[in-house]
Structure 1
Amino acid sequence: MRFVSTRGASPALPFGAALGAGLAPDGGLYVPERLPRLDARDVEAIPDGRLADTLAAVLRPLLGNDPLAARLDALCAEAASFEVPLVPLRGSGDHLLELFHGPTAAFKDLAARFLAASLSSLRAPDAPVQTVLVATSGDTGAAVGAAFHGREGFRVLILYPDGKVSPAQAHSLGAFGGNVRALRVAGSFDDCQRLAKQALGDAALRAEVPLLTANSISLGRLLPQMGYYAMHALRFQRRHGRPLGFIVPSGNLGNAVAALIARAMGLPIGEVVLATNANPTLSAFFDGAPYRGRDAIPTLANAMDVGAPSNVERLFWLAGGDEAAARGLIRVQRIDDARIRATVAAAEARHGIAPCPHTACGLAVLEDLRAAGDTRDWAVAATAHASKFLDVVGPLLSSTPAVPAAFAALLAKPAHADAMAVDGAALAEVLRADWATP
């Protein structure tokens, strides 16, 4: 299996090489040259057991004979070392897919750990230190920092929008030390993403500083997210004889596109509905307007404050480049801040849970589906733990949610992040500098 750019002007690469490249030279995102299709016998053979086993089963057809294929079981076991349970929502027949049980209490942990394990496995002992450059709207940076912290031969530079992430997120981004450094950028997430893409696309800079990416533009961040959708869709289908649909809170579209890729490969996933915050880029497109990126606006669900989602390119690829067909792959519903507050406040009494603001977007979409008479089976992806957003959810709840132990340990460390303007030259200077490695 080889991987090609969504923009069609870069050479095809095997999986490991595409993983290391991150962004294609033409600025596009890597996708499979062809999407393998699992027949009924292949799907039936996928084990109903650990997440690591399901993850390996769905990734194996995509790796083909890549050198990483021989190590795939071990890589998946390292990445998926924590539970990802499907929990019934009290007072309804619906479900919550809890994706926040990893070390940084967010869904990004699984894929970040797979990427780190894979790149570490591919690295030659005498290779130069590689810099993992990651833009974050709040959760990605911490997950990547945790996954690469202390790994020999790697350092991580995190770019995040100053003042536009929660206090807990900001602290976690600057708390690693060692080979992980954070920059608080005087701009939006989209500015951070543009800076990262500019650096990754600068051939002269990359000749001086070996660069990798760990944003969802990376295959290693995108594809492992198929695992939890595949596992629970299969388990639900086998036990109930019906498909399970997923409501996915998303800003940059990677998590939702992973579900769509798994479904296109033949997994019994029902409809996928995207829950966005008040940023209108995706909802406007799915309402029929031509696609265009916009400046992001700040919302309570800050990790989804994205105005130009990168994975739109992969969505269009799945649809054969046809915008109308892309609108048929997924539905989008936009949830504003007032609705987020109301949903968080109601969820405690209604379901006995404390959702984060992003999960609240998904719960609000579920409420609207039920109000419209939808009787199908649904699971809402709970993308982060509420304790990461106490500034938002705390005043709306009767009690403060306990911070998971691993994330609490991170918050207990001192933290520091350096200020930086939205300036590509300033970023290049930081990248060229010699700062701590393990």
Structure 2
Amino acid sequence: MRMLSTRGVAPPASISDAIAAGLAPDGGLYMPESLPTFAPTDFDDDATLAQVAKHLLQPFFAGDALERELDAICDTAFAIEPPLRAFGESGDFILELFHGATAAFKDYGAGFLAAALAALPRGNKPLTIIVATSGDTGAAVGAAFHRKPGVRVAILYPDGRVSPRQAHQLGCFGDNVRAFRVAGSFDDCQRLVKTLLSDAAFKQEVPLGSANSISLGRLLPQMAYYAHASLAHSRATGRSLNFVVPTGNLGNAMACFLARRMSLPIGRIVLANNANDVLAKFFAGDDYAPQSSLSTLANAMDVGAPNNFERLQWLEPDATALRTQLSAESVDDDEIRDTIVDAFQRHGETICPHTACAVRVLQRLRAEGVEGVEGDWAVVSTAHPAKFPEVVEPLIGREVPLPPALAAMLERPSHAQALADDAGALRAILHD
């Protein structure tokens, strides 16, 4: 299957080439030329997450150099089954995506991308993966690529705008993984990444790739856990599963949207923003208007210019039609705090600030009696609460136990290099 740029200028690419490049040469984002459709019964023989992923992704890799590697890649990336379990008192569910190496949902996509790139032939020069992070992406990418031969990783994060434990994770790898604390916002980090990825001359000297949700190698695999959860629910109940997805850069929610477009048994999709409400405003009827990002308790969603909105517009250029297919709500910091307290006191659940945004949105929709809110709903839990002790622990009045993998990371020394918000400075560093 061919991959096309959302901007329509770059020539079509194979999925291998699209994954290796990250960003299309015209600055656009790669998208599949078409989306396959499935019936739920197509997956009757696929019980595990890895099995569902192989079946779901195979049409995109058909005839590609990576096709014969796909099964092994999926076995590696999707070894951990994400629990879909009961949550609260209203018959709701929670999809826990934080049981991987860095306690965040991005471990799945990063693991897939690392395994895919390892299977592709390389030139004599190392490939430099450059990634912007608002907290969780960088650690997942660092863990996936740590000590992988022929690959270097440069993690860019906004200085002072990630949690202390996130910052420690970002700088704890060493070896082929370097962390840079940028004097700016996540949007500034993202702009630096896109500037370098669009610099054809520099890429001739320093081969570059991306591990943000810019990359199809990150985005497409994330469809798998939505397919797996919705299929399991459909088999058990005969009903579709609706999702509330916390989102900042729109990659995780975009994966859910694509899975539904491929006819998986997914019902409504509601996006949960923090106070960075660009998407909430758009889906309420305003023009799409990127803005400077705000610092919030749900810092991994502190994005004012969501990259993947370009993909949404490419799939559905008509804004009115798009607003019939998705909706979005924003949640401020006070509501995040209240929801964390409420979840713990009423249900004994400890949730991270990002998950709290999704929980609050579902509560709000139910309280307002919004049409179509009936049915079976799952909130998507994107990170372990132990990554945010300075937020969560004072609210619930107790310590959040560390998952073993996160505890091991926090025991390592950590270092991040200061970096100005300047593409020339980054080029000079990566040229060494």
After TM superposition, the score normalised by the length of structure 2 is: 0.97
After superposition, the C-alpha distances for 1:73-132 in whole angstroms (9 at most, x for unaligned) are 1100000121211011143311110000000000000000000000000134x5321100
Moved more, 366-375 or 197-206: 366-375
Asked if 2 retains the 8 angstrom alpha-carbon contact of 1:80 and 1:110, the reply is yes
Partner of 2:297: 300
d(CA) in 1 for partners of 2:135 and 2:332?
A: 19
Moved more, 80-89 or 110-119: 80-89
d(CA) in 2 for partners of 1:47 and 1:291?
A: 42
Q: Does 1:24 align with 2:19?
A: no
Q: How does 1:139-288 map to 2 (within 5 A)?
A: 139-288=136-285
Asked if 1 retains the 8 angstrom alpha-carbon contact of 2:97 and 2:383, the reply is yes
Unaligned runs of 5+ in 2: none
Deviation at 1:193, TM superposition (A): 0.2
After superposition, the C-alpha distances for 1:11-46 in whole angstroms (9 at most, x for unaligned) are 0011111100100011110001111222x3x74335
Partner of 1:58: 56
d(CA) in 2 for partners of 1:382 and 1:107?
A: 8
| SS of the residue 2:66 aligns to | helix
Aligned AA for 2:73? L
| SS of the residue 1:183 aligns to | strand
Partner of 2:364: 368
Deviation at 1:288, TM superposition (A): 1.1
Asked if 1 retains the 8 angstrom alpha-carbon contact of 2:155 and 2:180, the reply is yes
> How many residues end up aligned between the 2 structures?
429
Asked if 1 retains the 8 angstrom alpha-carbon contact of 2:192 and 2:421, the reply is yes
Q: Does 1:423 align with 2:422?
A: yes
Asked if 1 retains the 8 angstrom alpha-carbon contact of 2:113 and 2:211, the reply is yes
Moved more, 282-291 or 225-234: 282-291
Asked if 2 retains the 8 angstrom alpha-carbon contact of 1:246 and 1:379, the reply is yes
| SS of the residue 1:13 aligns to | coil
d(CA) in 2 for partners of 1:24 and 1:87?
A: 39
1:111 pairs, out of 84, 109, 112, with 109
d(CA) in 2 for partners of 1:107 and 1:45?
A: 23
d(CA) in 1 for partners of 2:325 and 2:198?
A: 30
Partner of 1:436: none
d(CA) in 2 for partners of 1:277 and 1:123?
A: 41
Deviation at 1:352, TM superposition (A): 1.6
After superposition, the C-alpha distances for 1:196-228 in whole angstroms (9 at most, x for unaligned) are 000010111101100000000000110111001
Asked if 1 retains the 8 angstrom alpha-carbon contact of 2:268 and 2:326, the reply is yes
Identity across matched positions, percent: 55
Residue 129 and residue 46 in structure 1: after superposition, are their counterparts in 2 closer, same or farther (change >3 A)?
A: farther
d(CA) in 2 for partners of 1:246 and 1:123?
A: 38
Aligned AA for 2:203? R
Q: How does 1:280-429 map to 2 (within 5 A)?
A: 280-319=277-316, 321-373=317-369, 374-429=373-428
Asked if 2 retains the 8 angstrom alpha-carbon contact of 1:46 and 1:54, the reply is no
d(CA) in 2 for partners of 1:77 and 1:45?
A: 17
After superposition, the C-alpha distances for 1:373-417 in whole angstroms (9 at most, x for unaligned) are 432100000000001011111110132111111111111100000
d(CA) in 2 for partners of 1:365 and 1:155?
A: 39
Asked if 2 retains the 8 angstrom alpha-carbon contact of 1:230 and 1:262, the reply is yes
Deviation at 1:255, TM superposition (A): 0.4
d(CA) in 1 for partners of 2:214 and 2:175?
A: 25
Asked if 2 retains the 8 angstrom alpha-carbon contact of 1:43 and 1:266, the reply is no
Moved more, 299-308 or 346-355: 346-355
Asked if 1 retains the 8 angstrom alpha-carbon contact of 2:125 and 2:206, the reply is no
| SS of the residue 2:388 aligns to | helix
Deviation at 1:287, TM superposition (A): 1.3
Residue 46 and residue 13 in structure 1: after superposition, are their counterparts in 2 closer, same or farther (change >3 A)?
A: farther
Partner of 1:99: 97
Let me know the Cα RMSD of the aligned residues.
Answer: 1.1
d(CA) in 1 for partners of 2:54 and 2:309?
A: 26
d(CA) in 2 for partners of 1:251 and 1:117?
A: 25
d(CA) in 1 for partners of 2:196 and 2:262?
A: 33
Q: Does 1:432 align with 2:428?
A: no
d(CA) in 1 for partners of 2:124 and 2:15?
A: 19
Aligned AA for 2:197? L
Partner of 1:47: 45
d(CA) in 1 for partners of 2:45 and 2:143?
A: 29
d(CA) in 2 for partners of 1:283 and 1:130?
A: 37
d(CA) in 1 for partners of 2:160 and 2:408?
A: 23
d(CA) in 2 for partners of 1:187 and 1:149?
A: 26
| SS of the residue 1:380 aligns to | strand
Unaligned runs of 5+ in 1: 434-438
Residue 430 and residue 46 in structure 1: after superposition, are their counterparts in 2 closer, same or farther (change >3 A)?
A: farther
d(CA) in 1 for partners of 2:18 and 2:279?
A: 27
